[in-house]
Every structure is written in structure tokens, then in C-alpha cells.
Amino acid sequence: MALDRATDIRLKDGTIISVHTPGGGLVIVSTPPDDAAEATGLAAYRSAPIGTSTMATHSGMPVEVVRAYCRAHGGVAEIGETAQRLLRTLPSEADPVMGEPAPDSQPEAVEAAPESPLSPARGSATPGLAPAEAAARASDGPVVEPAPRLVLDELTEAVIEARRAVADFEGPLVWKKSWGRHRQDELPETAALWKRITRGSVLASRLIIVTHPHYALHPLLAEGIALRAQLTVIAEEARRERDAMAEADMRFHQRRNGVATAEA
């Protein structure tokens, strides 16, 4: 039986899970609430359900945890193209820690070519020069070593994005040009509230990874915890303000309709 959606994964015991990106950002893995999530550690990355869904949603987990969950259900029977692509973007427990240079691959052994009179002398990068002479010439200019390539882990990336969001939300409630265009049927203030609700909730959900033991000694752990709490407050305050505006609009229309009915 074919999968209903490209984001679905059918496991061998018949369980269906999905991998998707609401809003094109954070990768979410949705599963039924079962004991396998607790046993494999997936439940540690659980966040609030999206909309009215009864599925348990998870974010910020390494791909090894998702694989363990699938094995607990007998393995993968069928996987959608989108789900497979998104799983490849998840972090791995084998990723280097923040600030460590990525290990370089070892070059394959190459058989040395026969030397010729025009070949550089051994130890020299300049053809025809002895190593001592080549070293003397090289000392005339600075020697620039290549900088190590840094790999950012999931928590570091989440903290960086959360910092930007908090800075964006500072100040008056206005729609910023850097956010693009809002819906034409919405007031700028209403659109700005929705931006705080959705982006604040998604980023706070992503920072659930601060509770995972893998990041217990991470240098950005305390900041991540503080940013998660701050984004949660921003989203909740915006939600309350949006609800208050909606209620005020409803009362206004009720009064106006009542006056119109009375005049009729």
C-alpha cells in the first residue's frame, strides 16, 4: 500500500510517522504517543502538538534517536521522498563539538613520479632551489596557515537564531520590512502579533534540546535556557494580545449590528 504523503514513513509493524518542516524551518518528527518513544529517548525531545493534532511532535533530536525509534517498531518498511530528505538534515551524535576543527580526510597514497632536472628539490616548493635557499626566500613574506573549519552543533545554531528573534521583537509592535510582506487582509499590528506567536513558539520548541544530557556541559546551555523562557513569554503575551483584539473587534461588530437592527 502506497504512502499517503511524501513526508510519511511506514514502519514494519504498521506504525505511521511523519517528518515535516512547518514554515520551512525546524524539522519535526511526529509519532503516535507510545512506549517506544520513552524507551529510545525520543520523548526527551517532545514538544507541544501542532494545531489539533493528536500526534506527539519532536524536534532537535539527533538522527540516531529517530533510527532507534524505527528499529523499536521493527524497522522501516517504506519511506517518503520528503521524509528521507529531511532526516538527512538532522544532526548526528557523531558531529564534532562546537569549536573543534573537523577532521580532515587522509589523502590516498600516490606513487611518486620519477624525478626530473626541472622537478623541485626535496623539501623545496620552488623548482631548482635547494631547501635552504627556498626557505630563505620564503621567509621574505608571511606564512599564512589555513584557518580550521568550525562546525556548529544544534544547540549553538538554535541559540544564534533565538538571539536574532529576540532582537527582532524588541521595541514597538510593528511589522518590519526585513520580514517581507504580510497578508494584505491583515493589519500590520495583527501580522506582527502572529509573527511573534509563530516564530516565538517554534524557536522555543526547538530549544527543548537544552534538557538533553548531551548538552549538559555546553557553554551556551544557560543562555539557551534563558532564551527559551524569553521566547515562550513573548509568544504567550502576543497570543493574549491577539485574543484581546479579536474579542474587542467582535464586541464592536455586535454593537454596530445591534444599532443597525434597532434603527431598522
Q: For residue range 163-210, what is the model confidence (pLDDT) as tens digits?
A: 988 888 887 766 666 555 655 555 667 777 778 888 888 888 888 888
Residue 135 CA to residue 65 CA, distance in Å, equals 52
Residues of the chain with pLDDT under 70: 1, 23-25, 48-53, 93-151, 173-188, 258-264
What per-residue confidence (pLDDT) applies to 223? 93
What per-residue confidence (pLDDT) applies to 98? 45
State which H helix or E strand residue 17 sits in.
strand 16-20
Residues 6+ positions from 14 with CB-CB distance below 8 Å: none
> In the structure grid, which three cell numbers stand for residue 251, read together?
464586541
Number of residues that make up the chain:
264
Residue 151 CA to residue 101 CA, distance in Å, equals 7
Domain extent listing, the chain: 8-87, 154-263
Residue 14 CA to residue 70 CA, distance in Å, equals 11
What one-character-per-residue DSSP string does 23-67 give? GGSS-EEEE-S-HHHHHHTGGGGEEPPSTT--SEEEES--HHHHH
Query: Any idea what the Cα angle at residue 211 is, between residues 214 and 208, rounded to 5°?
Result: 110
pTM of the predicted model, to two decimals? Answer: 0.43
Alpha-carbon torsion (241, 242, 248, 251), positive or negative: negative
Query: What residue spans of the chain are helical by DSSP H?
Result: 35-40, 63-72, 81-87, 131-138, 154-169, 188-206, 221-263
DSSP classification of residue 207: G
What per-residue confidence (pLDDT) applies to 251? 80
Q: Strand order of the sheet with strand 28-31?
A: 46-47, 56-59, 28-31, 16-20, 8-11, 76-79
Widest CA span of the chain, in angstroms?
A: 108
What per-residue confidence (pLDDT) applies to 229? 92
State which H helix or E strand residue 77 sits in.
strand 76-79
What per-residue confidence (pLDDT) applies to 100? 46
What per-residue confidence (pLDDT) applies to 105? 44
